[in-house]
Amino acid sequence: MINLFNKKNFSFPKELTSNPFKFSNKEKNIFFKNNFYRLNNYHLKNCLEFKNLTKFLKIKSNKSQHLSEYFYLPVSIFKKHNLVSVKRKSIIREIVSSGTSGNLSKILLDKVNSINQRKILSGIVSTFIGKDRLPMLIIDNDPRTSSDKSINARKAAIYGFGIFGKNVTYALDSKNQIDYISVNNFLNKYKDEKILIFGFTHLIYIKLVNEYKFKKNIKKNIFKNAILIHGGGWKKVEKLKVSRKLFNKKIQNKFNISRIHNYYGMVEQTGSIFFECHCGYLTTSMFSDVIIRDKNFNPLNVGKKGLIQLLSLVPTSYPGHNILTEDIGEEIEEVKCKCEIRGKKFIVHGRLDKAETRGCSNV
């Protein structure tokens, strides 16, 4: 079995990153558990805060233990501490979570971590949309025109997914209004080609479903070859009483788009995202895993709702490999999924109201 963390200069081989769903569940479990143990030990040795917390809580790490027994961090800790497992001088990028408050997560990346993020993101997304770059319409404004040069989660997602497109067109102007000239020129130019549409869920719903109006030279059928990728912002959409099923139905009815892929991820584990498979379930790759915990933080069985814990082999420059989120989800029985995309299946039900996970964030 391949060991990713034998060397300090971690390298994720192309034969894995290009097909991150190739392993059977049994093979994936062996591969993930072995490499997770190595990665966890690396962070224990190189991140003082992470090491001190495990000592304080008297949590030990050994190769034979179950994944659910490893020490995890509450996602809120990244809002209070700049955790890093490499030398500060090697940090090339800081990514902050999106939001309007001053209490934002900050993730510190070195070159190796950044490259591996892109490799794995590319492999995951290519599995669902193919390896060819497609003409791309982004339902957002161009982040390069912003006076704010910092990188937040929204910009990071646009830049990250932008690598899958060519001749990228931004659908919104600087005032977040639909730029009909740019959008309709794009649609007319690529009306007979497969196109890729990307955006955050609430912007897709507000700008495309609610606000976009067809002009005389733009017909519904022009979107028949489109692939829509969207994620984030579900909370804003759910406040409008719009479920995932209704969201998809409205998109299909208005634009005749049948290929719609929702994804789940967070800035604290950038690159390690979860795409909905063809059966509509979020799916772990060989580089990620998920555990569901109850209100007392005990692991739950399949089919039970609880807090989502995310495990990933991607974060190496900071200890974001094992985090407890503030989202509610549930693992789905493997037999319920009939598609060829292999991996653990789960769904997200929403966010904890006024969530603030207690625990080591208060230490």
> For 208, which DSSP code?
I
Taking phi first (over 0 means left), then psi (-120 to 50 degrees means alpha), and beta for anything else, what does residue 114 get?
alpha
Q: Which of 75, 81, 99, 107 is nearest to 307 (CA)?
A: 75
Domain contains 166: yes
CATH of the domain at 110: 3.40.50.12780
Taking phi first (over 0 means left), then psi (-120 to 50 degrees means alpha), and beta for anything else, what does residue 340 get?
alpha
- Comparing 2-16, 114-128, 201-215, 310-324, which segment has the lowest mean pLDDT? 2-16
Please give the sequence-ordered ranges of beta strands (E in DSSP) within 129-219, or none if there are none: 134-138, 151-152, 165-170, 195-200
- Summarize the confidence of residues 220-245 as an average pLDDT: 84
pLDDT at 154: 82
Number of domains within the chain: 1
Domain contains 11: no
* Res 240 pLDDT > 50: yes
Domain contains 15: no
Domain contains 7: no
Domain contains 47: yes
C-alpha to C-alpha distance for 96 and 108, rounded to whole angstroms? 9
Q: What residue type is 256 in one-letter code?
A: N
* Res 362 pLDDT > 70: no
pLDDT at 90: 95
Summarised one tens digit per residue, pLDDT across range 151-182 is 777 888 898 899 999 999 999 998 999 999 99
- What is the SS3 assignment for 198? strand
According to DSSP, the β-strands at 226-231 and 195-200 are parallel
According to DSSP, the β-strands at 305-312 and 259-264 are unpaired
At 83, is the pLDDT very low, low, confident or very high (cuts 50, 70, 90)?
very high
Cβ atoms of 224 and 190 within 8 Å: the answer is: no
Q: What residue type is 21 in one-letter code?
A: F
Query: What's the length of the chain?
Result: 363
Summarised one tens digit per residue, pLDDT across range 112-156 is 999 999 999 999 999 999 999 999 999 999 988 876 666 777 888
pLDDT at 152: 79
* Res 232 pLDDT > 70: yes
pLDDT at 57: 87
Summarised one tens digit per residue, pLDDT across range 254-302 is 999 989 999 999 889 988 899 999 888 999 999 999 999 999 999 999 9
pLDDT at 62: 84
User: What is the extent of the structural domain holding 54?
Assistant: 20-362
C-alpha to C-alpha distance for 80 and 356, rounded to whole angstroms? 13
pLDDT at 271: 82
Domain contains 189: yes
C-alpha to C-alpha distance for 197 and 168, rounded to whole angstroms? 10
Cβ atoms of 157 and 177 within 8 Å: the answer is: no
Domain contains 86: yes
Domain contains 260: yes
Cβ-defined contacts of 297-304 (< 8 Å, 24+): 297/324, 297/359, 299/68, 300/331, 301/331, 302/330, 302/331, 302/332, 302/333, 303/330, 303/331, 303/332, 303/333, 304/330, 304/331
pLDDT at 257: 92
Report the number of secondary-structure helices (H) and strands (E) in the chain: 9, 15
pLDDT at 286: 95
Cβ atoms of 115 and 10 within 8 Å: the answer is: no
